[in-house]
Structure 1
């Protein structure tokens, strides 16, 4: 072989070695990259979501998911009640409280790649507030509750420039900024809304830290990390909201390490969890109310003496011990005790069956009466064991010959039926959406909230004085004055007894100690971008 040919062969062999080595490196690199563990956070809960379009839902299980898909203009800080920027970088209001101008964040994208700007926000508001808007499909209940109908107190929403938004109100609204923190007012992609319209509930697209991947109804919802999130880069690659109806099964899976967070556990589970070094117990604050609503438009509950008799028949101390295992607080008012405006001097109707019987006799029901009690079939934050509570109420009312038939419904059917006003007695409750007494008292007792399909006043209570005070409290800007109005409102409601406040609970969450950065929020809805999974503590 000639020297030149040998040189060519040598070069060829050398190139082959280099190429082979490079390919080998590529294969090794891919293997190394693919070996990077996908961080999947699994959250088990008793109930599925109903809609992933926050604008048309009213229930917490949907909001637990949507807060991770959508951002609001403003939000609460994770560990407190201070309102901080989100999609809006800053804001200012006029002296009369009627005009609000928001400066919006730039370079933000919706999950579908479209731009977030003031026109997108205007589109969302016009969809929410105008009942004749072509994309106002479904029941926008929360808008109606908060803004007094369609369009209610909002006069106009205008994109002043690409990143400046002006909102003009017809009248002052003290809780306006805190209302905008509510999950229902998450900003959605206009393109996606126009594309899916009434089916948008199953195709959610926002700007949040996670994107929608899949939903198997009754089974699980899967979200994936938004790699282009404008805020803190999410540490988890995938979040799974899994439906496990049984408390026992949720706890068992947590103990086995098959899930990371188990929501709505019972008081009986706490002792068991505390013996497990791999699980931590979190208790949410008393920021809810579980209550017995009586339909004031139906006999015999249109009679105040009958309603008071019901209150005298319920031994709340025994109820808290036997039904809630002492991990709850008897409720005297419909405002949680940790919320400003709570009236500490309000007292429940004392447990007194003899007085209850006298009231029933005076009301014309000496032999008692028959009635029905509706109850949901799965746990809620305020009722971890709703059927046990229903049985307790039935037994309590029987002491005055009130014969109760318990009727159980699935959660999604339950919330649809109680809005129709067909019930007599129902067990229901509320976890606060934002830190203002208006969110409780106006929601429960404003006469405007008795409208079919938009109902949140499940007692169908109607009191002109209450309506006037509720409106005054919304329009007043002085917090101390508002506080006094809410205290007066609690006195009136307590005296009229349209419903019976039962308990404030501390919802129990079991969390694997592999979870880092999880901060339960008092509203029961957390964004998860700061949550991480570690192999060892």
Structure 2
């Protein structure tokens, strides 16, 4: 099976990244304690056969599969589980901690905070009760669990391999960290495939079947991820039979692909596209009237109708409709060009110029064609009198560093595919603390989101996030644009691929006839 990736993975150790091109590959190599049932956001066992909360949600006991080994032949057991949790908690250095985006968001802090994470750590300790029982102790309950245990960032890796190849070594400078060779050559898990090679010059990652995998055995002997940045080139490679699939085909191509016999599999929408606003980089963006003007000035209905695929919808908030915590009772900003102009005039911002960043060499579930999206939104902004300075950068060539870590932009395109079924995975991830990407400080909003995160599961949890959604859309730190419904396409001979709302496709079930 040869799959066409839109871009190079950032690395192959998922704890140090949050991007999909990496996760698509590492999901095949590494297992989490709990996973999502194929095609859904429901939970099912993985390396843990059972999981039980106690102590009001501050203790989690995992009953582990027995007889499992990592690809290097070392045992997977409770000691290995605790090694992984302790590794993340005790990670040292600003560069390493800042790269651990999911750990910072979910666990909030480290043994010693040296980077962007400033909170008190949620993690307390991990106990080895016996070889097949690991007990995780937290300082407080979090509504994100147990679903957050499915995150690829929290995959179990071989303690021996991490130690031997210095997996925690991160050097370089802010915005340009350098990771050890472990992250490109020696990442070792328990998944159905294991790493054979990553030829970065050739743009190809090759995995081979792991015959001793505890999960379902792979049906193909080799799985290759071939990097093809241009979408049209990916399409032509599929038609020529050079690859057997690729992700996020352009909506305009669905009919042509199906006409050629390709299988276009539509995922349920579980994501959001937004226009990010960096208040720290441009003082005029601190004025709520200016942010509201941007919201009123974007014709989201027209954009969804003309640029996105079947099943997509206009976003009125940052949480998709299928997630508990969504509410219709938020402030809405329907397209109103005259209202936008009026607000800019009231704010004294009729001469506003904005540096508008957008990515290249990537296609994301929420952003199938970045250039087209940039063009559509920038034309809307120009129509209300805003001057746009375009800044295009490669996705894995500085874009995310510039907008998320350095905050160079005034406005930018980004989005999110949900990792698990919880509203906090969206608005908590975006706005739960001060971040370079948005450049604002709002302690009341941060507290509302922290309270929602700690609310017990069920109605109280959902209602707390509904309250948070209302506050977010009143404050308007960014602008939700759309809930796209992305697709994945495979050739006519491919069987067994299950499309996932989380883009959590597993290739061990795939065969090529």
TM-score (norm 1): 0.87
Q: What's the secondary structure of 1:180's corresponding residue?
A: helix
Q: What's the secondary structure of 2:127's corresponding residue?
A: strand
2:399 counterpart (404, 410, 414): 414
Q: Does 1:466 align with 2:445?
A: yes
Alignment of 1:293-442 (within 5 A): 293-297=276-280, 298-324=282-308, 328-346=312-330, 348-365=332-349, 367-378=350-361, 379-412=363-396, 413-418=398-403, 419-442=405-428
CA contact (8 A) 1:447 1:461 kept: no
Alignment of 1:73-112 (within 5 A): 73-112=33-72
Q: What is aligned with 1:38? A: none
Matches of 2:389 and 2:329, distance apart in 1: 35
1:65 counterpart (7, 12, 25): 25
Q: What is aligned with 1:520? A: 499
Q: What is aligned with 1:242? A: 226
Q: What's the secondary structure of 1:383's corresponding residue?
A: coil
Matches of 1:42 and 1:376, distance apart in 2: 25
How far has the Cα of 1:138 moved from its partner?
Answer: 6.9
How far has the Cα of 1:99 moved from its partner?
Answer: 1.4
How far has the Cα of 1:160 moved from its partner?
Answer: 2.2
How far has the Cα of 1:136 moved from its partner?
Answer: 6.0
Moved more, 355-364 or 62-71: 355-364
Alignment of 1:128-527 (within 5 A): 128-132=88-92, 139-151=99-111, 152-197=121-166, 198-202=180-184, 203-217=186-200, 219-277=203-261, 279-297=262-280, 298-324=282-308, 328-346=312-330, 348-365=332-349, 367-378=350-361, 379-412=363-396, 413-418=398-403, 419-448=405-434, 450=435, 458-527=437-506
Matches of 2:235 and 2:454, distance apart in 1: 46
CA contact (8 A) 2:26 2:152 kept: yes
**Computing the radius of gyration over CA atoms, which structure comes out larger, 1 or 2?**
1
CA contact (8 A) 1:291 1:429 kept: yes
Matches of 2:238 and 2:284, distance apart in 1: 47
Q: Does 1:530 align with 2:497?
A: no
CA contact (8 A) 2:124 2:139 kept: yes
Unaligned runs of 5+ in 2: 112-120, 167-179
Matches of 2:229 and 2:502, distance apart in 1: 22
Matches of 2:331 and 2:237, distance apart in 1: 42
Q: What is aligned with 1:37? A: none
How far has the Cα of 1:215 moved from its partner?
Answer: 0.8
Q: What's the secondary structure of 1:502's corresponding residue?
A: strand
Matches of 2:132 and 2:93, distance apart in 1: 23
Task: Label 1:310 to 1:221 Cα distance change in 2 as closer, same or farther (>3 A).
Answer: same
CA contact (8 A) 2:309 2:486 kept: no
CA contact (8 A) 2:309 2:485 kept: no
Matches of 1:140 and 1:371, distance apart in 2: 30
- Once the two structures are superposed, residues 54-104 of structure 1 have per-residue CA deviations (whole angstroms, 9 ceiling, x without a partner) of 110110110011011111111111133332211112222214111111121
Matches of 1:348 and 1:265, distance apart in 2: 30
How far has the Cα of 1:326 moved from its partner?
Answer: 5.8
**Count of equivalent residues:** 485
Q: What's the secondary structure of 1:372's corresponding residue?
A: strand
Q: Does 1:43 align with 2:3?
A: yes
Matches of 1:236 and 1:444, distance apart in 2: 38
CA contact (8 A) 1:227 1:233 kept: yes
Unaligned runs of 5+ in 1: 1-40
Task: Label 1:56 to 1:357 Cα distance change in 2 as closer, same or farther (>3 A).
Answer: same
Matches of 1:114 and 1:512, distance apart in 2: 37
Q: What is aligned with 2:115? A: none
Matches of 1:134 and 1:167, distance apart in 2: 25
Moved more, 404-413 or 126-135: 126-135
